[in-house]
Amino acid sequence: MTQILNMTYNNPFMKIEVQDLKFGNIEKPELIAGEYFSIAHYFLKLKCNVSSFNDEMKQKMNSALTAKYGANNVKYLANEGSYLINANMKACAVSKDKKIWKFVILEKEYKKVLVKVLPKKILDKF
């Protein structure tokens, strides 16, 4: 899971470090149309180094991070030029056999795309 998150947040202009990954509730798998689906709640800290950004880009980044994660979950560390973010996230684990699982990160802004791959019953949960 850490590898997936690192790939997701990989950006050549902004170094992102995934810290302190913890899993919360993992829901009981539901069989829907021949596949098992389970929602997993997880929490992590992201440290985003934006020291290479100009002031305007830093302000835009601050606005975007605050809008996404909430003001209480975003802290700017001026001495490091980094943001420290507490992120509460969800992923959907999908499996045909309950042995091999694939993960889809659930974010509201991707819901229009996720409609194509996840059943409505799962989409209604987030």
Whether the full predicted model's pTM is greater than 0.85, yes or no, is: no
Question: Has residue 1 got a pLDDT over 70?
Answer: no
Residue with tokens 């091999």: 100
| pLDDT at res. 7 | 45
Q: How far apart are CA 43 and CA 34, in angstroms?
A: 29
| Count of domains for the chain | 1
Q: How far apart are CA 103 and CA 94, in angstroms?
A: 6
Q: Which residue has the higher pLDDT, 8 or 29?
A: 29
pLDDT digits (tens, 9 = 90+) for 34-44: 999 999 999 99
**Residue-range definition of the domain harbouring residue 79:** 2-123
pLDDT digits (tens, 9 = 90+) for 66-83: 998 999 999 999 999 999
CA nearest 103: which of 93, 88, 117, 89?
A: 93
Tokens representing residue 75 in the block? 């802290």
